[in-house]
């Protein structure tokens, strides 16, 4: 657990430093037909659709948790669903700022989709599946994507990807807590989500400003 905390703190310090550099060096001006952004554009396209689908999946997991009277998991899945939707829209925005054009998936999935098929698994299984996903994304997929975006000088995209990686890492820790403490009930508001970047907070650790994007906490969404 200590190693996890050290890794989390190190990532946060790295993110704050990189965000500061990005802020000081300014935001990308939108330019058309920049081939050096090809890989970042492709990543944004694919993962915006994936995030939108995952938002719907988490909503189905929340309904399953409600049926099992797991209010703690229900609140968490609803908060993560909202965060995934915000992430998807931020990725679409980043893609368009690079001159790309977001394409909906073949089956018509778009970023407004909020209804997923009901989960056929138990809440514990849904938590475990979610934990594997969030860990993989935050520890493997997004660090590589951030490096690529920085290398391609796609600074706004790098900033958005940093927000997502940091949030997904926090989601993993919240899921782990739900798995470790299944008897903790949550009858009212349990989580807050920043509407700008999707950063997610527990009720115990709600900061005055979002440390990722500096949005004031009065604007946070409650779950
Ligand atoms: Zn934020």
Which own/partner contact pairs does 204-212 have at CB distance under 8 Å and 24+ positions apart? 211/12, 211/16, 212/15, 212/19, 212/162, 212/163, 212/166, 212/167
DSSP class of 209: B
Evaluate if residue 189 carries a pLDDT over 80: no
Going from the Cα of 123 to the center of ligand 1, the distance in angstroms, rounded, reads: 28
Arithmetic mean of pLDDT over the chain: 83
The residues spanned by each domain of the chain are 2-22+35-187
Evaluate if residue 13 carries a pLDDT over 50: yes
DSSP class of 141: I
Within a 10 A sphere around the Cβ of 114, how many other Cβ atoms?
Answer: 12
Going from the Cα of 59 to the center of ligand 1, the distance in angstroms, rounded, reads: 21
Going from the Cα of 220 to the center of ligand 1, the distance in angstroms, rounded, reads: 9
User: What is the tens place of the pLDDT at every residue in 111-133?
Assistant: 444 445 666 789 999 999 999 99
Q: 154 is written with which tokens? A: 């796609």
Q: Of 212 and 12, which is predicted with more confidence? A: 212
User: What is the tens place of the pLDDT at every residue in 56-106?
Assistant: 999 999 999 999 999 999 999 999 999 999 999 999 999 999 888 877 654
Going from the Cα of 134 to the center of ligand 1, the distance in angstroms, rounded, reads: 18
CB 131 within 8 A of CB 77: no
What does pTM read for this prediction?
Answer: 0.78
Q: Phi/psi zone of residue 136: left (φ > 0), alpha (ψ -120 to 50 degrees), beta?
A: alpha
The CATH code of domain 2-22+35-187 reads 1.20.1260.10
CB 88 within 8 A of CB 52: yes
Going from the Cα of 68 to the center of ligand 1, the distance in angstroms, rounded, reads: 31
Q: Strands, DSSP E only, in the chain?
A: 191-193, 200-202, 221-222
Going from the Cα of 186 to the center of ligand 1, the distance in angstroms, rounded, reads: 24
Going from the Cα of 120 to the center of ligand 1, the distance in angstroms, rounded, reads: 33
């Amino acid at each position: 657990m200590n190693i996890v905390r050290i890794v989390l703190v190190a990532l946060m310090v790295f993110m704050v430093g990189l965000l500061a550099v990005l802020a000081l060096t300014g935001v990308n001006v939108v330019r058309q037909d920049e081939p050096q952004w090809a890989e970042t554009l492709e990543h944004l396209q694919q993962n915006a659709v994936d995030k939108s689908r995952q938002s719907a999946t988490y909503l189905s997991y929340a309904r399953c948790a409600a049926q099992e009277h797991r209010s703690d998991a229900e609140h968490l899945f609803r908060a993560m669903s909202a965060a995934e939707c915000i992430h998807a829209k931020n990725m679409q925005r980043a893609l368009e700022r690079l001159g790309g054009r977001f394409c909906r998936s073949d089956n018509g999935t778009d970023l407004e989709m909020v209804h997923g098929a009901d989960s056929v698994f138990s809440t514990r299984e849904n938590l475990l599946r979610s934990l594997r996903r969030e860990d993989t994304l935050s520890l493997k997929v997004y660090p590589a994507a951030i490096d690529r975006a920085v290398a391609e000088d796609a600074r706004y995209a790098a900033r958005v990807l940093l927000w997502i990686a940091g949030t997904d890492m926090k989601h993993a820790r919240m899921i782990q807590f739900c798995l470790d403490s299944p008897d903790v009930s949550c009858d009212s508001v349990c989580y807050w989500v920043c509407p700008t970047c999707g950063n997610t907070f527990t009720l115990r650790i709600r900061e005055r400003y979002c440390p990722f994007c500096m949005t004031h906490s009065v604007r946070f969404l409650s779950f």
